[in-house]
């Protein structure tokens, strides 16, 4: 019901006066991206209702994980709702569609998928999630320490799998790690035995599974069922509770990089994200039930932190609802420094619209179906 009211309220909110700050959010709450998009939508009600004394209105739309619908949503948000900022979308292809419209209309866009915009789009687009490079770097470092020389790869037959294979192909050989296989599967495949057998036939020291959420557990359980003994690595896309539930005992010892929010209760006290991550996680689980925390919802929360940090400067220059305000907001976000989020600390610049550093990642392993910091596990 809560989800429904959020969607039903959206058109009402859009009719409000222009003096408020209007934020248009387009998420993939249905379709293949739903597992990531739903926790994002659940986070909307936790976003600040007021920033620097100005009321903030959030208009939430669903793009059904469809690039065409995402572009349509973005046009509607920019044209009809005259939003000051767009946030979205959940996956790389849908985000890419929104980025194009953000540039055309001069509206800043905060993306919740690891999209690396190129050319002119880069000026208007900011990306919250950690880049695959940053995460792969931590994994490759760990592999090197564990004397891994050969690595098997099995991933999605989509942009997520492609990008991880590309990143590993760049970073792996530099660290003396050879990729031995490039197998692909689909989220809803009934069986991955063929791919897993091919990976096993290449006899790798370790295997990396480039998938997200629950589908990432299927190749893992299959590898263990067929007697694979080596280490199995995952990407940060896999880090949700449903992944742990469905993988069960087979996931024991899996290694993956995560944003700090996933292990908020185990972070050292001096970690900059600890307080905010704890606040977000506890609030989220209070409403959505225990073990419902997902790193993806936290990305939206971080996007709001960035807005909160940048809005006062933009408000000093222009009124919301004007092109000047949007431009000032873009500039303020580009120069935001030391913005603390649940996923680390963001330091943005004209060259870097990601802004993450080492504080945005932690390696964890699975013990007794729970996340455990890798340092304490060894």
Residues forming contacts to another protein in the complex (CB under 8 A) are 30-32, 34-35, 37-38, 157, 182-195, 197-198, 201, 213-215, 217-218, 240, 242, 245-246
Shortest spacing between CB 153 and another protein, in angstroms? 11
Shortest spacing between CB 259 and another protein, in angstroms? 19
Q: Which is nearer to another protein, 8 or 190 (CB)?
A: 190
Q: Which is nearer to another protein, 153 or 325 (CB)?
A: 153
Distance spanning both ends of the chain, measured CA to CA: 44
Nearest to 263 by CA among 252, 273, 250: 273
Shortest spacing between CB 226 and another protein, in angstroms? 8
Tell me the C-alpha to C-alpha distance, in Å, between residue 73 and each of 10, 61, 111, 170, 350: 13, 7, 14, 36, 27
Shortest spacing between CB 216 and another protein, in angstroms? 10
Shortest spacing between CB 359 and another protein, in angstroms? 29
Q: Which is nearer to another protein, 67 or 240 (CB)?
A: 240
Shortest spacing between CB 225 and another protein, in angstroms? 9
Cα gap 296→94, rounded to integer Å: 15
Q: Which is nearer to another protein, 20 or 189 (CB)?
A: 189
Q: Which is nearer to another protein, 1 or 49 (CB)?
A: 1
> Which helix (H) or strand (E) covers residue 377, if one does?
helix 374-377
Angle between the N-to-C axes of helices 274-288 and 34-43, in degrees from 0 to 180, rounded to the nearest 10: 100
Tell me the C-alpha to C-alpha distance, in Å, between residue 216 and each of 161, 210, 246, 331: 11, 7, 10, 38
Q: Which is nearer to another protein, 197 or 350 (CB)?
A: 197
| Number of other CB atoms surrounding residue 374 within 10 Å | 16
Contact between 57 and 22 (Cβ < 8 Å): yes
Cα gap 295→344, rounded to integer Å: 12
Cα gap 31→29, rounded to integer Å: 7
Shortest spacing between CB 186 and another protein, in angstroms? 7
Q: Which is nearer to another protein, 114 or 213 (CB)?
A: 213
Tell me the C-alpha to C-alpha distance, in Å, between residue 176 and each of 145, 149, 151, 254, 305: 11, 6, 10, 22, 39
Q: Which is nearer to another protein, 64 or 139 (CB)?
A: 64
Give, in degrees to the nearest 5, the angle at Cα 333 between 330 and 338.
175
Q: Who's near 166: CB < 8 A, 6+ residues apart?
A: none
Backbone dihedral region for residue 21 (phi beyond 0: left; psi -120 to 50: alpha; all else: beta) = beta
């Amino acid at each position: 019901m809560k989800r429904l009211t959020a969607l039903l309220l959206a058109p009402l909110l859009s009719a409000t006066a222009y003096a408020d700050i209007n934020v248009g959010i387009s998420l993939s709450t249905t379709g293949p991206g739903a597992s990531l998009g739903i926790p994002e939508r659940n986070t909307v009600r936790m976003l600040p209702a007021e920033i620097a004394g100005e009321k903030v209105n959030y208009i939430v739309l669903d793009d059904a994980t469809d690039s065409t619908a995402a572009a349509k949503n973005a046009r509607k948000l920019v044209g009809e709702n005259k939003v000051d900022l767009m946030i979205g979308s959940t996956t790389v292809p849908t985000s890419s569609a929104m980025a194009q419209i953000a540039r055309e209309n001069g509206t800043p866009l905060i993306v919740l998928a690891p999209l690396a915009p190129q050319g002119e789009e880069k000026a208007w687009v900011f990306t919250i999630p950690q880049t695959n490079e940053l995460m792969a770097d931590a994994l490759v470092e760990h592999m090197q320490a564990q004397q891994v020389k050969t690595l098997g790869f099995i991933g999605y037959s989509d942009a997520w799998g492609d990008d991880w294979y590309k990143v590993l192909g760049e970073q792996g050989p530099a660290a003396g790690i050879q990729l031995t296989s490039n197998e692909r599967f689909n989220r809803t495949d009934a069986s991955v035995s063929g791919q897993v057998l091919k990976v096993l036939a290449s006899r790798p020291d370790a295997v990396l599974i480039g998938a997200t959420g629950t589908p990432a557990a299927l190749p893992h359980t299959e590898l263990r069922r067929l007697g694979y003994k080596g280490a199995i690595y995952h990407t940060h896309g896999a880090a949700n509770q449903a992944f742990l539930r469905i993988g069960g005992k087979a996931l024991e010892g899996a290694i993956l990089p995560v944003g700090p929010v996933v292990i908020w209760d185990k972070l050292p006290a001096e970690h900059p994200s600890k307080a905010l991550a704890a606040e977000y996680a506890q609030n989220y689980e209070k409403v959505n039930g225990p073990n419902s925390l997902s790193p993806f919802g936290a990305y939206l929360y971080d996007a709001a932190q960035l807005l909160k940090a940048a809005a006062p400067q933009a408000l000093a220059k222009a009124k919301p609802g004007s092109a000047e305000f949007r431009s000032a907001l873009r500039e303020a976000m580009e120069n935001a420094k030391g913005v603390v989020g649940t996923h680390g600390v963001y330091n943005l610049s004209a060259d870097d619209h990601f802004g993450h550093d080492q504080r945005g990642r932690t390696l964890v392993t699975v013990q007794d179906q729970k996340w455990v910091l890798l340092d304490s596990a060894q």
